[in-house]
Amino acid sequence: MNEPTNATDAKPAIFLDRDGTLNLDLVGYVRTVEDFHLLEGVGQALRRLRAAGYLLVVVTNQACLAKGLLSEQGLKEIHDHMEHLLGEEAVSLDGIYFCPDHPEGTVKKYRGQNDRRKPEPGMILEAAEHLSIDLSKSWMIGDTSRDSRAGKRAGCRTILLTGAELSEEQLDQPADTQHADFTAENLLDAAEIVIQQDIGPAQGQQLPQKKPFRQRPTELDTRQLLSDILRELRHQRIAPQHREFSISKMLAGMAQCGVFLCLIMAYVAFSYWSGRALLICLMIGLTLQMMVVALLLVHRSS
């Protein structure tokens, strides 16, 4: 354990979530370099924050490792690519911290819960210790309430991004904005909030307010919606087919065939046989029809 940071040496930092904050998060997990695309304005936002004197540190949950979807080497290649893209934007990161664990992971060494996985603050505290960061002068910026809660627990101020790339969590739980000190549409707006809060608004500029959630019909919204629909269809593709079949439904089908057979026999009895045979056929057919109704009710309730 390192010695506590001397407050006079400690630097302010911006802790950044990765997916949905720095890059597009449209496919659930970024598994390849080709999946990684920086969001518009990210380079400019980070340059502004760097110029204002903040360290830039990425803290990201990467449960895809726990789920066996990506190796540590694959993640390193993606992060190398991210730093290359940021380098082209004339900005660099001071640290990248990731948590590969997940309570339901299929890879044994990554299965479990710990204090590094957001919303726990472990990665932020770890970075603060390594890089001599003053958490009270720092910010956590991310696109989910997990990021805001982690930042709050670490003692940072927080900004929740609510822009075009709304996450499933934000769509389901807009009330989670309560964990954030500010909301911003994108990282560039968030950088503006940070600078105005800590350095002061430029002359004539208004201080940004906590913005309400709003959804705009942009192309990215449409892509997000299509992605969500596809993911939901993939999840439900097999289950509904299984739910359609049941023993009671099969027996109902067989009984319905019996009803049709009884009707044919009743017609033959009416034409060629006695009235008693006709009555028997109709009684059997009626009984079978009642069985069909009962079996279908059992199928629906199961």
Positions marked active-site: 17, 19
Return the exposure string of 143-152: e unless at least 16 CB atoms fall within 10 Å of the residue's CB, then b: bbbbbbbbbb
Position 17 contacts Mg ion (CB under 5 A):
yes
Q: Nearer Cβ to Mg ion, position 20 or 151?
A: 20
Position 134 contacts Mg ion (CB under 5 A):
no
- Report the nearest approach of Mg ion to the CB of residue 47 (Å): 21
Q: Nearer Cβ to Mg ion, position 190 or 252?
A: 190
Compute how many residues bind Mg ion; rule: CB under 5 A.
4
Peptide bond preceding 119 in cis form (omega within 30 of 0):
yes
Q: Nearer Cβ to Mg ion, position 58 or 125?
A: 58
Return the exposure string of 267-283: e unless at least 16 CB atoms fall within 10 Å of the residue's CB, then b: eebeeeeeeeebebbbe
- Report the nearest approach of Mg ion to the CB of residue 28 (Å): 11
Piece of the chain touching Mg ion by CB under 5 A; list 64-72, 136-144, 196-204, 247-255: 136-144
Position 143 contacts Mg ion (CB under 5 A):
yes
Position 19 contacts Mg ion (CB under 5 A):
yes
Cβ neighbours, 10 Å, residue 118: 25
- Report the nearest approach of Mg ion to the CB of residue 91 (Å): 19
Classify residue 199 as exposed, middle or buried by CB count within 10 Å of its CB (0-12, 13-18, 19+). exposed
Position 12 contacts Mg ion (CB under 5 A):
no
Position 189 contacts Mg ion (CB under 5 A):
no
Q: For 24, what's the count of Cα atoms within 13 Å in the CB-facing half-sphere?
A: 16
Spatial distance between the Cα atoms of 166 and 212, rounded to a whole number of angstroms:
13
Classify residue 108 as exposed, middle or buried by CB count within 10 Å of its CB (0-12, 13-18, 19+). exposed
Position 165 contacts Mg ion (CB under 5 A):
no
Q: What does the binding site for Mg ion look like in residue numbers (CB under 5 A)?
A: 17, 19-20, 143
